[in-house]
Chain A
Amino acid sequence: MDQDLVSMFPKEKQWFWSSALDSEVPLQEIRLRINQPVILHKGGREYFLDSAGRLTGDISRAYCIGQQEMNAIFMQICKDSPYAFEDSIRQGFITYKGGHRIGVAGQVVLQNTKKVHSIKHIFYLNIRVSHEMQGVAEVLLPYLYEEGELLNVLLVAPPGCGKTTYLRDLIRLVSNGNAFGEGKTVGVVDERSELAGDYLGIPQKDLGVRTDILDGCPKTEGMMMLIRSMSPQVIAVDELGDREDVEALKTARNCGIKILATIHGRGRKEVEAKFPEIEQGDFFDCIVVLGKKNGCPTVKKICRREAQDENFRRRNDGDGVLSDGGTVLPADAFTLPDA
């Protein structure tokens, strides 16, 4: 049983949650809503909890959580210091020990009627259980190196398809070194504490032995800080969002730093609409498109730049199928597949 997860709940009620969490079926999330049944998502199925903490499918026997208990759980998660997590709460989540992420919702307090100042009466919690998947990105490695040199890589996927999971594992593999290249110094700008899962300054996920992490720092500023201070060989950022991010990446590239990045998108049209620079083909050497197959995240396509593609073509002349069932497309140009 995950002790970090159990420690999220007040001591007097830990017996209740322990029995619910103690199961071989992997737990994905726990949804807590005030005066509503507690819902657990386990192994792709939805369960309620009865008053003894046992899983049940019967909503009439479901245990509902009260205001006092909800407050106690929230205070426990915040270590009785919600003010210390105010920036995080403003963004709608708190990262907990073990890398578990707690989404929060309630009544929003606005500043100047536009900006979110804080959230009060937090009566909705979504505890997303973290599962570190070491080794998932190994399947990509042969396509991300050229003569021992790492390429500039962009991972593209819609939400829930494992962008962050793949990027996290790639960072670890690049940092530690692997069969295709030696270990490199990686600088990570972890704006939303998703990659390293920092909790009170301690990374909860393994990002490798040569990785420096800037936690909670805006991407643009963070990349410049890393370039100035930590001299990374590789910079990794999750979820490119605006043009400023791309400009900062350009600066990094001009300094000879390799890039590992992710972006939201289903395909070419969506990404092109956001960043025409990517379409022009002088930015990333390799684009990996992730998707879902039978509900599981998988590598759908890998596209590499034409000019550097000899080795890739040779490999692709073979079966062209990745071990997890994703198809490798020949990179006939530097474009993403259509949405």
Chain B
Amino acid sequence: MQLLDLFLSEVQYDKATFRECCERVAFFTEGELQHFFERLCEDYEEDAGISFLGLFRTRMSAFLESRQIKETEREIFLDAFKGFGKNDRELTVKVLKGGQEKIARRLALLENGKREKCRLSVGLGTMGGLFLLILLM
């Protein structure tokens, strides 16, 4: 979410190209993410004629996969960047914002699912405990 916020600001206020966005995001991030974006920009500069959007998608997908992010979540995240191919800046901003909302909804869903699972485990544990108690009595 914070990452998308950075991209959004770059597009909205600075009309930066996708590559410029990545360069600046690298400046504002740390650790692995910083290294990822720096490497992405360097490789793009070295290899003239390749699609930056394509390169980003491939590399980011691999990066997320290596961090155990599931395919559904990976797709949702990568789809947010589809706006970079649009002719209109407002539309690009809207697609990015739409992507942010989708990610937020997915996060809420995952949180809810986690809570449900937690509740279910507590319930099952209690019931199991009671069952054991009855058996022992």
Contact = CB atoms under 8 A, between A and B. Distances in A.
Contacts of B18: 79-81
B102 interface: no
A259 B20 CA distance: 36
Interface stretch (B24-32, B46-54, B71-79, B123-131): B46-54
Interface in A68-92: 72, 75-76, 78-84, 86, 89
B79 to A, nearest CB: 15
B49 A14 contact: yes
B57 to A, nearest CB: 10
Nearest to B20: A200
B106 interface: no
Contacts of B48: 3, 6-7, 11
A84 B49 contact: no
B49 A80 contact: no
A14 B51 CA distance: 13
5 contacts: A7-B49, A72-B51, A80-B19, A80-B84, A83-B92
B19 A86 contact: no
Nearest to B51: A80
B85 A80 contact: yes
B49 A81 contact: no
Interface in B1-55: 11, 15-20, 47-53
Contacts of A76: 49, 51
Contacts of A79: 17-19, 52
Contacts of A6: 48-49
B109 interface: no
A82 B87 contact: yes
B62 interface: no
Nearest to A9: B49
A86 B51 contact: no
Q: How large is the interface on B (under 10, 10 to 19, 20 to 34, 35 or more residues)?
A: 20 to 34
A82 B86 contact: yes
A267 interface: no
Contacts of B86: 82-83
Which of A7, A72, A81, A119 has most chain B Cβ within 10 Å?
A: A81
Interface of A: 3, 6-7, 9-11, 14, 72, 75-76, 78-84, 86, 89, 118-120, 200
A11 B17 contact: no
Contact of A86 (B47, B49, B88): B88
A82 B16 CA distance: 10
A120 B88 CA distance: 10
B20 A82 contact: no
A11 B43 CA distance: 14
B17 A81 contact: yes
A118 B84 contact: no
A75 B85 CA distance: 8
Nearest to A71: B85
Given A9-B49, A10-B51, A14-B49, A86 B87 contact: yes
A83 B47 contact: no
Residue among A7, A78, A79 having the largest count of chain B Cβ atoms under 10 Å: A79
Contacts of A78: 17
B52 to A, nearest CB: 5
A83 B51 contact: no
Contacts of A86: 87-89
A57 B89 CA distance: 42
Contact of A75 (B51, B89, B91): B51
A119 B88 CA distance: 10
Nearest to B81: A80
Nearest to A117: B88
Given A200-B17, A200-B20, A83 B88 contact: yes
B53 A118 contact: no
Contact of B84 (A7, A9, A72, A81): A81
Contacts of A120: 87
Nearest to B86: A83
B87 A10 contact: no
Contacts of A119: 87
Nearest to B56: A80
B19 A83 contact: no
A83 B87 CA distance: 4
Contacts of A82: 85-87
Which of B52, B84, B86, B87 has the most A CB atoms < 10 Å from its CB? B87
Contact of B17 (A7, A14, A84): A84
